[in-house]
Amino acid sequence: MPKATRRAGKARRAAEPDVRKLVVRGEDNFFAIPPELATFERARFVVMSAPFEGTVSYGGGTAAGPRAVHTASQQVELFDEITGAEHITRHGVCTLKPFNTRCSAEELTMGRIYPVARQIVAAGKFPILIGGEHSVSPGAVKAVAEGWPDLSIFHIDAHSDLREAYHDDAYSHASAAARMNEYAPIVQVGIRSREAFEPGRPDKPVHCYHAFEYNTPGAWMDEAVGKLSRNVYLTIDVDGFDPSVFPGTGTPEPGGLSWYMGLDFIKKIARSRNIVGLDIVEVAPVKGTQVTEFAAARLLGRIIAFVSAWCWNNKGAV
């Protein structure tokens, strides 16, 4: 074998680190839980951080998002009064060191996030990804889609993100849903900013619930959840919520989901489907206030509770 080829082969293997070597030791983990509950072996949830803002088109700051959510999570009460239990310590949450994000969006999500997420899914654990801009998500979705057949995506966002490419970059944040759509059909809610024509893939439909029409609780929420298949990946751009809930985000749009409407959606999904992966992206902390990152940490804690309480005891059939 020529020398150059052998070297290339070695480089590829080096780019796929063992997930166990990325684990944060000690108490500076998500939710500040005892380290013995945060090992890869013990924990059923595993949190990846991707502090990336390579392709943002307007306000910046998302590179600081994951660490801010990490720090805020350490102030979140571990008991969940909605489900009546302390799921975070019961099931354990493993924190991974942040990805090195000095690379293209494509290299980050496909070359770095995907192989780690794949190992998490293969170990039977629940992958969580904290961004960073939305371009980090497709690699995690790919790993989950390979591990879970019959996957669909529930997508909370102000933006449809279905452009085939943006500024010639197919892995731009504005193309995140187009890339995710390669792996699964999508149900979008909160959408209030889009290109006129973004058809999605014919074999994997995209159902869009625009915010101008669907902005208050109603039967449409059950209809939207009804379009999801058995296994569901949640991708949550915090700008899908109203800016009063998440003011710190790159492209805030007025008129999004209320806090409780968002939670109700996720509750409905957890009660009737099997949620198998999650990302929360586009947190851009605002100096002098912790509102955004604390809300994101709280959302993460709630979703962990809903998955634990309902998906993992789910007797319902779809």
CA distance linking residue 287 with residue 298, whole number of Å: 19
Residue 205, sorted as left (phi over 0), alpha (psi -120 to 50) or beta, turns out to be beta
Binding mask 100-139 for Mn ion (x = CB under 5 A): ----------------------------------------
Least gap, CB of 134 to Mn ion (angstroms) = 6
Least gap, CB of 143 to Mn ion (angstroms) = 22
Least gap, CB of 158 to Mn ion (angstroms) = 5
- Closer to Mn ion by Cβ: residue 225 or 281: 281
- Closer to Mn ion by Cβ: residue 80 or 157: 157
Least gap, CB of 282 to Mn ion (angstroms) = 6
End-to-end CA distance of the chain: 52
- Nearest CA to 40 among 87, 86, 93, 113? 93
CA distance linking residue 222 with residue 220, whole number of Å: 5
Least gap, CB of 189 to Mn ion (angstroms) = 12
Binding mask 80-99 for Mn ion (x = CB under 5 A): --------------------
The type of residue at 111 is: G
Q: What residues between 195 and 254 interact with Mn ion by CB under 5 A? A: 237, 239
Give strand pairing partners of 126: 45
How many residues bind Mn ion (CB under 5 A)? The answer is: 5
HSE-CB at 308 with a 13 A cutoff on CA atoms is 23
- Using CA atoms, how far residue 20 sits from 95, 128, 224, 304, in Å, is 10, 16, 38, 21
Least gap, CB of 156 to Mn ion (angstroms) = 9
- Contact pick of 53, 157, 242, 279 for Mn ion (by CB under 5 A): 157
Q: Judged by CB under 5 A, which stretch of 103-111, 154-162, 217-225, 284-292 contacts Mn ion?
A: 154-162
- Nearest CA to 299 among 23, 138, 91, 82? 82
Residue 159 contacts Mn ion per CB under 5 A: yes
Query: What does the binding site for Mn ion look like in residue numbers (CB under 5 A)?
Result: 157-159, 237, 239
